[in-house]
Amino acid sequence: GAVVSQHPSWVICKSGTSVKIECRSLDFQATTMFWYRQFPKQSLMLMATSNEGSKATYEQGVEKDKFLINHASLTLSTLTVTSAHPEDSSFYICSARDLARSYNEQFFGPGTRLTVL
């Protein structure tokens, strides 16, 4: 199937710093990518839909100034957690759709575990 990568796979940072997470579609072009957040033993919650060349669409309750999303190319979307705090510690997962391969399936990245000290 289509491959989505994330970098880094884990990151530890100090409170107040910003962290950038990359999501790449390796063998397909993704006009739309999705960012999810998952707390331990909980479900995935959609944070935002990232559209190439336009502004991201954020879900209700997600601070757009806190979680900056950029989708500058058809293979790369980035999530920047600005001024991170311990409550931002979570597992962040991105996904993408390859409409040329499958209308239905979303291909997920391996996730990034963020720990804010």
CA distance 50 to 45: 15
The stretch among 15-23, 45-53, 68-76, 78-86 that binds other proteins (CB under 8 A) is 45-53
Cβ-contact 69, 20 below 8 angstroms: no
Which residues inside 10-39 make contact with other proteins, applying CB under 8 A?
A: 32, 34
* 70 makes contact with other proteins (CB under 8 A): no
Task: Please identify, among the stretches 12-20, 22-30, 71-79, 101-109, the one whose residues bind other proteins according to the rule CB under 8 A.
Answer: 101-109
Name 6's Cβ contacts closer than 8 Å, sequence gap at least 6: 21, 22, 23, 24, 92, 93, 94, 109, 110, 111, 112
Determine which residue in the list 46, 68, 74, 76 makes contact with other proteins, applying CB under 8 A. 46
- The token pair that represents 62 in the structure block: 């997600």
- Which residues sit at the interface with other proteins, rule CB under 8 A? 1, 32, 34, 42-46, 49, 91, 93, 95, 97, 104-108, 110-111, 113
